[in-house]
Amino acid sequence: MGKPTGFLEYERETGRAQEPKVRIKHFNEFHTPLSEAEQKKQGARCMECGVPFCQSGVIMKGMVSGCPLNNLIPEWNDLIYSDNWAQAYNRLKRTNSFPEFTSRVCPALCEAACTCGLNGDPVAIKENEYAVIERAYADGNAAARPPHIRTGKRVAVVGSGPAGLAAADQLNKRGHSVTVFEREDRPGGLLMYGIPNMKLEKWVVNRKIKVMEEEGVIFETGINVGKDCKPARLLKEFDSVILACGASNPRDIQVPGREAEGIYFAVDFLKMTTKSLLDSSLSDGTYVSAKGKHVIVIGGGDTGNDCVGTAVRHGCASVIQLEMMPRLPDERAEDNTWPEWPRVCKTDYGQEEAAAVFGKDPRLYETTVKEFKKDKSGKVHSAVLVRLESRKDPKTGQFRRVQVEGSEKEVAADLVLIAAGFLGSQKYVTDAFGVKVNDRTNVNTSPGSYKTNIDRVFAAGDMRRGQSLVVWAIKEGREVAKEVDKSLMGYTNLV
């Protein structure tokens, strides 16, 4: 513990965000990092507590507490304070394949479990992680380091999202020859087309892809395995195949008028915007624009918030975000004690921006769509909203959300974005490989294993565990790499 009184002397500080009305004029990241001197103070705030819940990654009441990657957080916090940035990077990379991604998009499960947060503000762990990885790139410590010896084994990874990239990175470092197949025109999967540019600029993804290429990983884009490329080819040319295709089936809603034009899945809306932004700075007109439209976003999660932020940047006339559940409390409830994940209401960047532009929070809680109405040309022009409440089913005894009769109201809607989550893997991929899936259409593997029912075929990430966080996908990718390595070599020294 470099500075025993650090958490008493220094207040929590994070990078300053641009004002909402300023940042909505662009699609770039909008936080200004702390200075090196200020960052060292944040490192000094770490208590190096005896039981570091921040790195525990344990499940409490169905929610994870601490980092799923078990990052050695107190170590690199202290190394930041002592100005040992190179060693801080070494300890960070020991457990995290992509801190350049998690330091930007992770909800910071570690900070929620920080001991400092029990009676004050947690250590700015996410901010410290960002500082370490960006300093490593600036100093050349994050440059490519190809393996000195190749094993002669070949591995195919299908999907270049965080799970696929993590698996490829680990197996390549072990000396195996890895080829990553991606159906889109750019590698990165969810990182490239699922997360908006203002949360994760795509040069950050490309920078890491370039390093991996220099280390020997081969990326083949525009190849849709299961359609363009048959599994038999991969199983013939490679010793092992890892399926890391994500949970790509968006959950739909079934209400009258759903077939109206102008209703899109959130993932398609976000992808089109990002692709057009990268291809032409939005000048090619190949994306669905929210400019001048009354927008309804169905879903209160991160993807829904991303849709709100994107619609505001397009110049929408109004935006409403529907959330089926009640508003969470501003403070922890008595039964939601530290170090559990705090179930409290948070206002994310998109909601802040909508409030700044339109004068109110865009979220409507305990509300859903009962019906879409369309004009004579078949385009959606309004939606009938209805309030929900929780009622006990007399037969099952379980509580469920039901519509409140008489609470309907009609609102304008020129563009509707469905951000209701994802249901699992895509059937054409699992059918092509013949892998078994569970009742949620996730690839079925034995407990504690990533091996499928097909010899030499493994699965990881959202495709196996269901829709989750980037940090969990990285964990899955690292774990499947260990299992594949052991199957190829008889043992593994990957961590």
Residue 123's H or E segment, with its range, is none
Dihedral of the alpha carbons of 442, 199, 274, 465, in degrees to the nearest 10:
0
Residue 14 burial class via C-beta count within 10 angstroms: exposed 0-12, middle 13-18, buried 19 and up:
middle
Task: Give exposure, 128-157, as e/b (b: 16+ Cβ within 10 Å).
Answer: bbbbbbbbbbeeebbeeeeeeeebebbbbb
Gap between the Cα atoms of 204 and 142, Å rounded: 13
How far apart, in whole angstroms, are the C-alpha atoms of residue 364 and residue 256? 21
DSSP for residue 102: H
The token pair at 192 is 């490239």
247 touches 424 (CB < 8 A): yes
> Peptide bond preceding 339: is omega within 30 degrees of 0, i.e. cis?
yes
| Burial of residue 395 (number of CB atoms within 10 Å: 0-12, 13-18, 19+) | exposed
Handedness of CA 72, 78, 80, 82 (dihedral sign): negative
Q: At residue 11, what is the residue type? A: E
Amino acid found at 429: V
- Give the pLDDT of the chain (495 residues) as one tens digit per residue: 678 899 999 999 999 999 999 999 999 999 999 999 999 999 999 988 989 999 999 999 989 999 999 999 999 999 999 999 999 999 999 999 999 999 999 999 999 999 999 989 999 999 999 999 999 999 999 999 999 999 999 999 999 999 999 999 999 999 999 999 999 999 999 999 999 999 999 999 999 999 999 999 999 999 999 999 999 999 999 999 999 999 989 999 999 999 999 999 999 999 999 999 999 999 999 999 999 999 999 999 999 999 999 999 999 999 999 999 999 999 999 999 999 999 999 999 999 999 999 999 999 999 999 999 999 999 999 999 999 999 988 888 888 999 999 999 999 999 999 999 998 899 999 999 999 999 999 999 988 899 999 999 999 999 999 999 999 999 999 999 999 999 999 999 999
- Three-class SS state of 134: helix
- Domains located in the chain, CATH noted: 6-139 (1.10.1060.10), 154-248+423-489 (3.50.50.60), 263-418 (3.50.50.60)
Residues 6+ apart with CB under 8 A from 50: none
Q: What angle do CA 311, 344, 18 make, to 5 degrees?
A: 45
- Element containing residue 462 per DSSP (H, E): helix 462-465
Q: How far apart are the first and last CA of the chain?
A: 25
Taking the C-alpha atoms of residue 466 and residue 440, their distance in angstroms, rounded to an integer, is 8
pLDDT in tens, 373-408: 999 999 999 999 999 999 988 888 888 999 999 999
DSSP letters, 150-196, are: --S-EEEEE--SHHHHHHHHHHHHHT-EEEEEESSSSTTTIIIIIS-
How many alpha carbons fall within 13 Å on the CB side of residue 327? 12
- Over residues 105-121, the pLDDT tens digits come to 999 999 999 999 998 99
Which is it for the CA torsion 281, 286, 291, 292, positive or negative?
Answer: positive
425 touches 225 (CB < 8 A): no
Chain mean pLDDT for the chain: 96
Which residue is listed with tokens 């965000």?
Answer: 17
